[in-house]
Structure 1
Amino acid sequence: MYKRILVPVDGSEFAEQMIPHATAIARATGASVTLLRIVSDAADQADARDHVAKRAESVGAEGLCIVARGEAADAIRAEAERVPDTLVALSSHGRSGAAEAIFGSVALDVLRGSRAPILVFRPDSRTSAAPVPKIGRIVVPLDGSKESESIVPQAAEFAKWLGARIVVVSVLDPSPRLAPGIPAGDVQESSYVHGRATDIAQRYGVATGWEVLHGDPKEAIPQFVRSLGDAMLAMTTHGRSALRTVVAGSCTASCLREAGVPVLTRLP
């Protein structure tokens, strides 16, 4: 699927928090990793090149430093397109902090201009020396909309590439109950997610499971993902109901912020 994982860095610890996730994926798949440093002034290139080369050597990756006087997102996309089968994997913000909503201005610009999904990770101010676990499950939240389901082909291929399992989830918001102890809509929602999981398994040849969650999707999905311990997310930036808000999608943004795992995402 992907032969190279391209990780843009800017010299900040926040931006480099994607590196352990990228290298863990590379170990599982045999892909190479390239750390990309972009500078706007050629006078800064030598120092930046030395820094990215040392950081890359420490993780067995390639270090690349380029001068680009335009938008950083354009340079990232151009480098990704230069080498076929490249996955862009970047932190949602780097040196500038939380720039544009949750996604960060550069990550969001790359997403807007890319025809392929990208892998995004929300950095945490709390650093951890714990090793990144091998991804065993890819959680795919669906709500019945074409928008939310447009990520399914990429998520299924990503799961096959990683040797992981797809877990289809849907979320029921609190609502009046049909009978004591029976949440309204559970039967219909279970039928939907079970059917989608079965279809994905048959169509893409990947192992699947499914779950119906309860509560606010922006809380229920991250909580479920954290409980698994070996999962990542795959979801579009908006869909129906709770998954359709603003450019980045409030549910996707909340999951990116709260789940603490990489998110494979694309615009629908």
Structure 2
Amino acid sequence: MPFKHILLPLDGSSTAEEAVAHAVTLANTSGAEIHLLHVQRSHTGEPSVDPVDWRLRRAELRSYLNRLAERLTRRDIPVTVSVVEGRPAEQIVEYCEEMQIDLIVFTAFGKGGVSRFAFGSTAQKVFSGSGRSFMVVRPGETPADPEKTAYRRVLVSMDGSPRSEWVACQVASMMRGQEVELILLQVIAVPDMPRRMPITQEERATREKFVECNRRAARAYLDEVARQLQNGITVRPLLVVAQNVAERINATAIEERVDLIAMSAHDWQSGAQQVTGTVCHTVMSHSDRPVLVFQDLPEAQLQALRAGADFCQIRHPTLPESDAAQR
């Protein structure tokens, strides 16, 4: 399974709590442990902070996390509770390193509330500096009750790269045996031809030929990936042509009524030195659906995939026909 330790940073606000249901769902599908973390700002060096009030607040926060931990434990989810002191983003990143966190689940905004920007300052710093896979949840789009959170349709963004193939494999592995439809979406981009004058008929024909060539190759590619993943779950390849890839991904997620978008942090054009590729950043900035972003594989595994190794390392035995029919 891709995730063993899921970090759920909470600032005590109802907005941040909207990520709880998703962390629970992912923990159940991955068999992962949830780490509940609150970062309390330091009172030292700030004369305006009453030390007594600060200690009372710390006790209240720990009690709040303990109550939440009890609820999760009753669902057979292992939980660790921590309250640390310092700057929120820095402490979250440090906690990830110390506890070997491999997934962070958080809302785009916290107690500061929704703003005109795509993310709150802490969320922006965390996914930029942690180097971990993460899920971004938009406030107001998720039921607060974990029992009502389920992923019935999951859209996986594909671009022909080893990274996206690996993501599809990880998602399929997590969802194996559940009543879920996995939609493998590849958007064929129409090449831009920026110029002052309209393109000629010959140039238009050349562009259409280029798009059609990519479309045929992508169709065969998606069918093959779907064939390899279709074992105990429903996998549907979907191919569309559009001018803007990120916009089309978000529009398709709405049209298909998906519950989750999953994608690699880096597309085939972006390098690992970037936090996220352009397509990923645009999708998670504008999507009203939860977006699960997988960070890069270790370089050795990426090289193996580029050399033609099997992208789906996590294999399950083929289900008997009778079992498959019951799914």
* TM bracket, shorter-chain basis: 0.7 to 0.9
Name 1:225's counterpart in structure 2. 253
2:18·2:107 contact (CA, 8 Å) conserved in 1?
yes
Mapping for residues 50-65 of structure 1, pairs under 5 Å: 50-60=63-73, 62=79, 64-65=81-82
Name 1:211's counterpart in structure 2. 238
In structure 2, what is the Cα distance between the partners aligned to 1:150 and 1:14? 32
Change (3 A) 1:151 1:104: farther
Cα displacement (A) at 1:50? 1.4
Question: Percent of aligned positions with the same letter in both sequences?
Answer: 22
Name 1:19's counterpart in structure 2. 20
Amino acid at match of 1:167: L
Change (3 A) 1:85 1:66: closer
Name 1:188's counterpart in structure 2. 214
Name 2:108's counterpart in structure 1. 92
In structure 2, what is the Cα distance between the partners aligned to 1:240 and 1:86? 22
Gaps of 5+ in 2: 43-53, 193-200, 298-327
In structure 2, what is the Cα distance between the partners aligned to 1:92 and 1:226? 19
Amino acid at match of 1:140: S
> What's the TM-score once normalised by structure 1's chain length?
0.73
In structure 2, what is the Cα distance between the partners aligned to 1:73 and 1:10? 12
Name 1:169's counterpart in structure 2. 186
Cα displacement (A) at 1:103? 3.3
> Which is worse superposed, 101-110 or 13-22?
101-110
Change (3 A) 1:141 1:22: same
In structure 2, what is the Cα distance between the partners aligned to 1:219 and 1:55? 37
Name 1:32's counterpart in structure 2. 33
Give the SS at the match of 1:94: coil
Name 2:51's counterpart in structure 1. none
Name 2:305's counterpart in structure 1. none
Q: Does 1:252 align with 2:252?
A: no
1:225·1:259 contact (CA, 8 Å) conserved in 2?
no
| Alignment partner of 1:49 out of 62, 71, 84 | 62
Amino acid at match of 1:260: R
Gaps of 5+ in 1: none
Amino acid at match of 1:133: A
Cα displacement (A) at 1:267? 7.6
What are the Cα deviations for residues 114-143 of structure 1, in whole angstroms up to 9, with x where unaligned? 33322222222x66467112355341142x
1:234·1:263 contact (CA, 8 Å) conserved in 2?
yes
Change (3 A) 1:162 1:172: same
Cα displacement (A) at 1:8? 0.7
Mapping for residues 108-119 of structure 1, pairs under 5 Å: 108-119=124-135
Cα displacement (A) at 1:153? 2.5
In structure 1, what is the Cα distance between the partners aligned to 2:132 and 2:152? 21
> What's the TM-score once normalised by structure 2's chain length?
0.62
In structure 1, what is the Cα distance between the partners aligned to 2:227 and 2:99? 31
Change (3 A) 1:114 1:247: closer
Q: Does 1:81 align with 2:105?
A: no
1:140·1:152 contact (CA, 8 Å) conserved in 2?
no
Name 2:118's counterpart in structure 1. 102
Cα displacement (A) at 1:20? 0.8
In structure 1, what is the Cα distance between the partners aligned to 2:123 and 2:11? 13
Change (3 A) 1:66 1:194: farther
> What number of residue pairs does the alignment pair up?
257
1:156·1:200 contact (CA, 8 Å) conserved in 2?
no
Change (3 A) 1:22 1:201: farther
Change (3 A) 1:201 1:74: farther
Name 2:321's counterpart in structure 1. none
In structure 2, what is the Cα distance between the partners aligned to 1:10 and 1:63? 16
In structure 1, what is the Cα distance between the partners aligned to 2:15 and 2:118? 14
Give the SS at the match of 1:73: helix
